[in-house]
Structure 1
Amino acid sequence: MPSPSPLLHRNTAHERLLLGLSSGLGSLAVLLAGVGRYGTLAYAVRRRTREIGIRLAFGAHRHAVLSMILSDALKLVALGIGVGVPIAVAGGYSLRAFLFGVAPVDPAALAAACAVLALAALLAACIPARRAAAVDPLVALRRE
């Protein structure tokens, strides 16, 4: 009789393949969302360069500009989570007939997904926010 380890390994090969594919595609989706979010934030900061320059010229601290850009980014994440979590919960309950041995809603998985999404958005917002905080008011006002 073979030992349980190779037998278990062989019997779970399909599940491990699906796990690897799902993890890879999920990671790719988060990466694409982060790159897209970075692009939209970089564009928004570029369009608001004059406004940011005026704020800095009137005495706004660079920390306030950094906070403004980061809070704008996180507001959209909060909106996405506020819309996405109820849809995920409803989807889980509507698919419960197809789930065997799995709860329709896993609060830990939802919390982890929300945390990963918020972290990806925060990382995507860091570069545009730092660029906005580093704007020279004179250059920003002369440019337009």
Structure 2
Amino acid sequence: LCIRDRVGDVRQAGLDKVPLAELHVPYGRPWGDNGMVLVLRTGGGPEGLTPALREVVRRLDSDVPVHRALTMEQVIEQSLGMRRLVLWLLGGFAVVALVLSSAGLYGVISYLVSQQTREIGIRMALGARSADVLWLVMGHGALLAGAGIGLGLAGALALARVLESQLYGVTAHDPLTFGGVAALLGAVALLACWLPARRATRVDPLLAIRSD
């Protein structure tokens, strides 16, 4: 057996798998496969060439069936189908978690504001401005959000290797991804804090002081 040429690596097992060692042999040899994969490069849209390709193959050998005529984009889509489904499910769970965490943070800050109504009224009666009350409530919310985001990032870094097998073209510790998610969570958390903080600035000092 004489090996004349070497060809480039072919990722048969998947885009994220290391190319395996392969040997190309002439079609029809006893040790070869009975099937054949034909790849064509076109200058235009490949979809309209399928009928012409089938006709050419039929003229060469009418006993050779042609099946699974796909574009390269369709081949890649099929190879990534299950992985994209998993990532879509994870993304959906992440959105649900974001909504629940925002609702929980909003509830906690609202409860704190209701418990500190008398204190807020006294502060405003002594000359505190609405902006001071706003920053006071937002500070409590930012502290809780910062602690939650810090713990979440630590947990994500520890469990990142679990998702590493589902990623391609990006590392499990991509700083842009972690930074973007942290910024998004921080923005949502501040918005959830701003609503009860804005309500706290409207507290009537006299009613707050007289309340039990």
User: What TM-score does the superposition give when structure 1 sets the normalisation length?
Assistant: 0.87
1:126 and 2:191 matched: no
Aligned counterparts of 2:149 and 2:107: Cα–Cα separation in 1? 20
TM-superposed CA distance for 1:135, in Å, is 0.4
How many percent identity over aligned positions? 36
The answer for the alignment partner of 2:154 in structure 1 is 86
TM-superposed CA distance for 1:21, in Å, is 0.9
Name the one with the larger helix percent: 1
The answer for the alignment partner of 1:19 in structure 2 is 87
> Of residues 30, 40, 49 in structure 1, which corresponds to 2:117?
49
The answer for the alignment partner of 1:33 in structure 2 is 101
Unaligned 5+ runs, structure 1: none
> Of residues 55, 66, 71 in structure 2, which corresponds to 1:3?
71
Unaligned 5+ runs, structure 2: 1-68
Aligned counterparts of 2:115 and 2:98: Cα–Cα separation in 1? 26
Aligned counterparts of 2:76 and 2:153: Cα–Cα separation in 1? 35
> Of residues 93, 99, 116 in structure 1, which corresponds to 2:164?
99
**Change beyond 3 A, Cα 1:38–1:25:** same
TM-superposed CA distance for 1:67, in Å, is 0.7
**Change beyond 3 A, Cα 1:16–1:104:** closer
Larger radius of gyration: 2
Whose RCO is larger (CA < 8 A, sep 6+)? 1
The number of residues matched between the two structures is 141
Runs of 4+ in structure 1 displaced over 4 angstroms?
none
User: What TM-score does the superposition give when structure 2 sets the normalisation length?
Assistant: 0.61
CA RMSD of aligned residues (A): 1.9
Three-state SS of the structure 2 residue aligned to 1:99 is helix
> What code does the residue aligned with 1:34 have?
S
TM-superposed CA distance for 1:120, in Å, is 1.6
Aligned counterparts of 1:104 and 1:29: Cα–Cα separation in 2? 20
Aligned counterparts of 1:36 and 1:82: Cα–Cα separation in 2? 17
